[in-house]
Amino acid sequence: MNVIRDWFYKHFSDPQVVILVGLLVAGFLGIVFAGQYLAPVIASVIIAYLLEGVIQPMQRMGIPRLLAVSLVFTLFFVVLLLLIFSLFPILVRQAGQLLDLAPAMFAEGQRLLMTLPERYPTLFSETQVERFLEQIQSEAGGFTDTALQQTVSSVVGVVTLLVYMVLMPLLVFFFLKDKESILDWARSHLPRQRGLAARVWEEVDSQLGNFIRGKFWEILIVWVVTYITFMFMGLNFAMLLGFLVGISVLIPYIGAAVMTVPVALVAYFQFGWSAELAWILVAYGIIQMLDGNVLVPILFSEVINLHPIAIIVAVLFFGGIWGFWGVFFAIPLAILFQAVLKAWPRQSQEDPEQDSSAASES
- How many Cβ atoms are within 10 Å of 109's Cβ, its own excluded? 15
Residues 202 and 324 in one domain: yes
Residues 49 and 108 in one domain: yes
Residues 200 and 169 in one domain: no
Q: Residue 58 falls within a domain, yes or no?
A: yes
Q: What 3-state DSSP class applies to 273?
A: coil
Those residues whose C-beta lies under 8 Å from the C-beta of residue 219, and which sit 6 or more positions away, are 246, 247, 249, 250
Q: Residue 3 falls within a domain, yes or no?
A: no
Q: How many CA atoms lie within 13 A of 87 on its CB side?
A: 14
Q: Residue 330 falls within a domain, yes or no?
A: yes
Tell me how many domains the chain contains: 2
Question: How would you class 251 by CB atoms within 10 Å of its CB: exposed for 0-12, middle for 13-18, buried for 19 or more?
Answer: buried
Say if residue 341's pLDDT is above 50. yes
Identify which has the larger pLDDT, 2 or 220: 220
pLDDT bracket for residue 11 (50, 70, 90): low
Q: What CA–CA distance (Å, rounded) separates 74 from 54?
A: 13
Structure letter (DSSP) for residue 136: H
Question: How would you class 68 by CB atoms within 10 Å of its CB: exposed for 0-12, middle for 13-18, buried for 19 or more?
Answer: buried
Say if residue 140's pLDDT is above 80. no
Per-residue exposure over 153-186, b if at least 16 CB sit within 10 Å of its own CB, e if not:
eeeeeeeeeeeeeeebbebbbebbbeeeeeeeee
Say if residue 237's pLDDT is above 80. yes
- How many Cβ atoms are within 10 Å of 11's Cβ, its own excluded? 14
Identify which has the larger pLDDT, 203 or 271: 271
Q: What 3-state DSSP class applies to 123?
A: coil
Residues 209 and 334 in one domain: yes
Q: Residue 174 falls within a domain, yes or no?
A: yes
Distance of CA 273 to the CA centre of its chain: 34
Identify which has the larger pLDDT, 11 or 117: 117
User: Of 132, 156, 185, which closes a domain?
Assistant: 185
User: What is the Cα gyration radius of the chain?
Assistant: 26
Question: How would you class 32 by CB atoms within 10 Å of its CB: exposed for 0-12, middle for 13-18, buried for 19 or more?
Answer: exposed
User: Per this entry, what is the length of the chain?
Assistant: 362
Residues 149 and 222 in one domain: no
- How many Cβ atoms are within 10 Å of 49's Cβ, its own excluded? 19
* Residue 50 near residue 213 (C-beta atoms within 8 A): yes
Q: Residue 223 falls within a domain, yes or no?
A: yes
Structure letter (DSSP) for residue 253: T
Structure letter (DSSP) for residue 344: S
Q: Residue 149 falls within a domain, yes or no?
A: yes
Segments forming the whole domain that contains residue 49: 35-185
pLDDT of residue 324: 65
Q: What is the average pLDDT value for the chain, to the nearest integer?
A: 76
pLDDT digits (tens, 9 = 90+) for 146-201: 544 544 444 445 566 666 777 888 888 888 888 888 888 877 777 776 667 777 77
Say if residue 356's pLDDT is above 60. no
pLDDT digits (tens, 9 = 90+) for 305-335: 666 677 777 777 877 777 766 776 777 777 7
pLDDT digits (tens, 9 = 90+) for 71-103: 999 998 888 888 888 888 888 888 888 888 877
Residues 210 and 331 in one domain: yes
pLDDT of residue 10: 58
Q: Residue 358 falls within a domain, yes or no?
A: no
pLDDT of residue 295: 80
Residues 181 and 223 in one domain: no
Residues 243 and 164 in one domain: no
Q: Residue 279 falls within a domain, yes or no?
A: yes
